[in-house]
Structures are given as structure tokens and as C-alpha cells.
Amino acid sequence: MCAQRLWPTVQALGRGLVSSRSEIIQQGVKAYNAQNFNPNHLSQGHSISSHDRFPLSQRIIHTSRGSFNKVVARSFHSGTVLLVKEFNDTENEHAHAVLRSLPAYHATTVAKEETSGSTFYHQYTFPPLDSEWARCSADEVANRFIATSQECRYRPMDLEDRKHSELCSALVRNLRQLSDNQLLQVLSALSLWPPTNATTTPNFVALWNALDQACTERINRWDMTRMFLVADHWYALRLSRISMYNIQMTKLLGRKVSTMGPTQLVQYLFYANLSRKLEPFIIKKDIEKRISEVLTQISIEELGVIAMGFFKTQTFLKNERLVQGIVKKTQENLDCVSDASLCAILKLLRKSIPVTQWKLLHSLLDSLVPQLDRLNHMCLLQVALLGNDLLVYHPQAIDIIASKFASDISSIRLKDIERITFALMLYNCVPPSRPDIFSLIAEELRKPERTMEINHYPKCFVSCVVYLTTLGFFPQDLISAALQPSMLNLLSMSRHYSDMGREVSELEWAMVIEGPPNYQGYRLNPDLRQQLTREYLGNLPVGSIKGMTHQEKLLIEVKEKLAAMLGGHEFLTITHVLPHVQTPDLVFCTDAEGQPVVLPQEYRDLAATDLKRPLGRPGEIQWNTVVVAGRNSFIRNTEELRGNVHMRKRQLSTLGYYVSVIPYMEYNRKSLRAKLSCLDRSLKEGSSLCLDGRVESAWVNLKASMEKQEEMIG
């Protein structure tokens, strides 16, 4: 109801912004198809093939957008894109329905049909003049407001109508004189009125603010049952997130979680979810400990409410025993858990399972596979994303989910298409059952029905295009739409898109390195490309080893060993060959016989933000890069590179480098000889270096150097 009350105001605020954004995709499409571009944004090329074009017949859809995160629904018959109630509200409605379905919560929750009935409707006549309200007692004013509210059931009225202003004013003046029960009845009656234009319309804001203050003033004398019941009436008004009462209640009860019963703990976390925060002073480990104690006493649906409370307050679990208990309970109830509750539990587990427990995550994915056919798209997506944070890849689950998404792609939200594309990119996965999914995604993004959705969520569109290019798929028209100036301006307008410059830079550099030769679409202005590259350029490892990251230390150590194999530091350097990749690489050269060649000074002098192409004529010098692949470069418990590293390797090869990859899990072995053996194997597989005798020579020199250092320290 809060969203309904605010929506007309939000529309008014949004119209100005939308008028400048609603044709963004159309402009990019028309410009791309007509090849009518600003020369400053173009690369040279030729005409494009018809299958790489947006349709020219897209219809512009004018929409508005405010502060609410709305989702998009579609008619299964027409494919029409429509704005509907935000998904978060649906989640909250489900959680509340869970509470209402259980007898233990009946005394502390209220259903819509249980709001003030018709007790007073025919019993009270109303004063003929506004001046007579001053003579009414507090009881009379409250009863008459309740009766008027009940009349709205049969004859909807506008609370902001002038004829109700004196009644509202009289009620505000008399609230403090009402009993607790009367206060609750008035609060309930307020929800019977049709929504006003905003939460700030005069009569409505005066009433709810006064009720909020009155409830907050009395909260300390109420028991937990009364507190929850009043809080649920604020939920019925959809004012929980902005009411002081809800904030004060979650603060007050936050100190009592250790003594809460199972149902009280569940309901407390439901209201914490509505306010989107747990106060800093609340001891999270006490909540986790109490949940561990009551876990066997609550249902899987109640666990879903708890999970939602944690996830929506950005509070993730630290207690490994509790995490294990939640995984076990979830596995035991997979046959009966609802999609919404499972969705909430999976969201929480994705952020809570520690890396040391990654096998637990894989076990859960094993258990989920037989359930995939019955789950809805939102839940399937959470299964697909479950292993992302720990890089735990379950090929069977991802393949089934990708196949289901491909089959139903026209009915799936743009946000969800973007997320499934991310999962496929992360694991560098081409689903065996639907290898055509990338073409289907591109075609879906081209559809006129998606225009409005893309205007609302441009970040999702651009990210989708970036993930496709990371996978080596280059839809030229979509790339042009993503790089057009109007799209870039839109991305820069929102603080929520503050990190999109990195993805835009990656897309631009991908086009520089791998872009189709006939591409004639938009490109970044050179100055903007330079600016973004400089902003997101990673650091080179310099200074004390003590202050370096694990990856930087690993890079320096590999450099020392490789320099010993090559014959000196003059033969190699650390640099950002690909300026859009965060971590740098090692570069060295050999001649045609595979012998090390001193790096040209011209190469060393290249600017940090430059793309480092091999210098000289092909065949004269062989150029090599060594990618030191750290712990986050590989899919968990495998030797398979994650998608971004695959792209990095592919782009280095495209530039003309021989590419060797040093896997940290093998290189991290303790002995010097084992480290050199790892380098030897990797260089044999990927470099042009002749390795005859180099490992043994490097071992002798490094061993002598280590002994000399030990003598000096001694």
C-alpha cells in the first residue's frame, strides 16, 4: 500500500528523467542500422550483416520510474512487457502469509479481512458542522473515524477531501487520550481508506505521523505480543520501513533475542527485514546462537522468513555449525519447501557458506538437481548463482537451468537474463543441451518488447553485452547500443551504476583487440577511453613485500624464478599488457631458436594505459606472456580457468603473444625444485622458450643466492 500511495508522486518526479531516456535504445539501433554516426565515436569498417541488426520497427514505449525496484511481467499470450508490483513486496507478502498460516502467530498478526469490521458503521451520526468536532470526546472522535473508515468499504472516499480534514485534526489532537485498544483500532481503520497520492498528503501524513508518535511513546509499557501486533498493523499500512515505531521496536527487542521463543525470533526477523537494518549494537552472534538452538523447532517455511530477514538486512552467517544445520534442514525438506522460501534460504547461504565448507555447497547442489523441474525461474536463478561466490561449479545443474531459461526466455526478466549470462560467463560454460543460448539472449535483447525494460535497467543490458563478449560472442548492434553516448550518459547519472565504467572499458578494449573487422558501430571517444582505463588500471607490485597482496607476492616470486631461468631481469618485465585487466602479466621475448632476447626499450617505455602489442616484424622476435593465475582464477577444485581468465588468455593470443599460465595450486608447493618444475611444465605448454638445461641452472643459482642470504642474516 505504501508503494501505491507514493506512486502518483513518483510518476511526476520521473517524467522529466524518462523523457530523455525512453528513446535511448531506439537511437542506438537506428544509428547503427542507418550507419549515421558521429565520426569521433567510430572505428573504420564496412557494412554489417542483416542478422546483426536491431529491427527498425521498434515502438517507443514511454514509461516512468521512481525509487521503487519494480519488476517486469509479460503476457504469456502476447509477450507484452508490463510494469507490475515489485518482487520484494511479493517476497514480503509470502513471508507474512507464512506467519498467518500458522496458529502460533494468529495473536500477533492481522489479515486484511480482520481490520476494523462494521461494528460502528450504522451506530454513529456525524456532526453537521466542522465546529462541533471540538465538543466531541476522544472516544467519540475515534469511533466516528473508525465508522467513516468502514464506510470506505462500501463507498470509497478520499481522505484528503476537505470534509474529512476537521475529523482528522480532531483525531490527531485526541490520540494520546485513547486506550491502547482504541489506538490499535484507529491504526487498523486507517488502512481501510483508498491510497492517497503520497505519504505526505496533509491529512494522511498528519494521521500516520501522530499514530507513529503515539505508538512509539507507549512501546516501553507493552509486552512482546502487543509490540508485534502493532507492528503488523504498520505492515498492513505498508509504512514499516519509514515508521519510527518499527525502528524503535527492532532496537528494543534486539537486546532480547537470547530469550525469545522460536516464533518470536521468526517474527522479529520479519520486521527487521521490513526496516532493512539490524542496529549495530545488536550482537549478531547471539541471534545466530539462538537460531541454532531453535532450528529443529521451526518449519522450513519459517526458516525462509528468517533467511529473508538476514539477507535483506545484509547480515550473513558466521556460525559454521548453524550454516551446516540450515543446509541439512533444507536438504531434508526440498520436496515440500515453497519456491519463495527456498529462494531466500539460497540467497543467504550463497553469502554465508565459508570457503572451507565449499563441499557443503556442492552437496546442496547435488540435492537440488532432482528438484529443478518444479522450481520457478526466480528460484532456478538462485540455484545457478549459489556457487558463484566460491566458484563452485555444478555442470549438471547449470546445464538444466540454462536449458529451461533458453526455452522460456521470452517470459524471463531482463535482470534474470543478465544474471544467468553472468553465471555462464563465470564458468566459461557453453551448455551442452542449449549451445544456442547466447544467440537466443542476443535475439531477446533486440526485441521491441524489451525496449521499456532496457530503458529502466540499462545496467543489465550493458552487463549482458559485456558477458557475451567475454565469452567470445560479438553481437555488433548490441555492442553499438551499449557504447552509444546516450547510454553512457544514462549509466553515469545513477550512483547505483558507479562501477559500470569498468565494464564499459572492458567492452571497448575487447572491440579494439577482437572486434569484427567490419564493425561500424559506436566506440568510446579516445579521451573517455583513456580516462576510464586510467581510473580502473590495476597496481604494479612495488615497495615492501610486507604490504603486498597475496597475488602481488606470488607475481614477484614467479618473476624471480623466471628471471633466473632466462638469465637475468633485463629479459623480462611486469606490465599490464591488457590495460583493462586488473592484474599485470610477465612479458619476455625469444629469438627464432627460443633463446631469450633483451626486451626492447621501446616496449618498456609504453604508457601504463597503452595496449601492449608485440613490436617488430612477425617472426623476428617471439613475444611471450606469463599469466600468474591466483586462487580466484580457477573454478573450485579443478584446473579449469574462470571465464574472465579465459578471455584474458584468448585476447593475449589474439595480439600475437605465446601465453603460459602458472597455476597457483601447483606452484604453491614448498620446495624450490617443485616451483621450478611447475614453471618448466607451464612454459613448455605455452611459451616459445627453449628450456634445455634452464631449470637446473636456475636451481643452482637460486640455491646459491638463498644460502648467501642465510649467511648474511646469520
Could you read off the pLDDT of 125-156 as tens digits, one per residue?
Answer: 555 455 677 778 888 999 999 999 999 888 89
Looking at residue 115, the DSSP 8-state letter turns out to be S
Three-class DSSP category at 288: helix
Is residue 331 in some structural domain? Answer: no
- Mark whether 453 and 559 lie in a shared domain: no
pLDDT of residue 127: 55
Residue-wise DSSP of 300-334: HHHHHHHHHHHHHTT-----HHHHHHHHHHHHHTT
In what helix (H) or strand (E) does residue 212 lie, and over which residues does it extend?
A: helix 202-218
Within-domain flag for 239: yes
Domain boundary among 298, 332, 364: 298
Q: Is residue 365 part of a domain?
A: no
Among residues 298, 324, 359, which one ends one of the domains? 298
Cell of 269: 526477523
pLDDT value for 89:
67
Task: Please name the residue ranges forming H helices in 313-394.
Answer: 320-332, 339-352, 358-368, 377-385
117 and 75 share a domain? no
Same domain, 586 and 679: yes
Q: Residue 485: inside a domain, yes or no?
A: yes
DSSP state of 599: P
- 599 & 690 share domain: yes
Q: Please write the tens of the pLDDT for every residue from 219-265.
A: 999 999 999 999 999 999 999 999 999 999 999 998 899 999 999 99
Three-state DSSP at 628 gives strand
- 451 pLDDT exceeds 50? yes
Q: Is there a single domain that holds both residue 610 and residue 704? A: yes
Whether 348 is in a domain gets the answer: no
In order, the DSSP letters of 541-595 are --S-GGGS-HHHHHHHHHHHHHHHHHTSGGGEEEE-SSTTSSS-EEEEEE-TTS-
One domain, residues 63 and 120: no
Tens digits of per-residue pLDDT, 613-622? 999 877 789 9
Residues 529, 561 share a domain? no
- Residue 686 shares a structural domain with residue 605: yes
* Residue 482 shares a structural domain with residue 575: no
Residue 369 lies in a domain: no
- pLDDT averaged over the chain? 84
Q: How many domains does the chain have?
A: 3
> Do 699 and 552 belong to one domain?
yes
Among the candidates 480, 514, 536, a domain finishes at 536
Give 287-325 pLDDT, tens digit per residue: 999 999 999 999 999 999 999 999 888 889 999 999 999
- Do residues 527 and 426 both lie within one domain? yes
Residues 591 and 681 in one domain: yes
Domain-embedded: residue 311: no
Q: What is the value of pTM for the model shown?
A: 0.84
Q: Could you tell me the residue range of the domain that residue 279 belongs to? A: 103-298
Per-residue pLDDT, averaged over 627-643, amounts to 94
Reported as a single tens digit per residue, the pLDDT across 481-530 is: 999 998 988 888 777 777 789 999 999 999 999 999 999 999 999 999 99
Instruction: Tell me whether residue 625 is in a domain.
Output: yes
Distance CA 522, CA 484 (A): 6
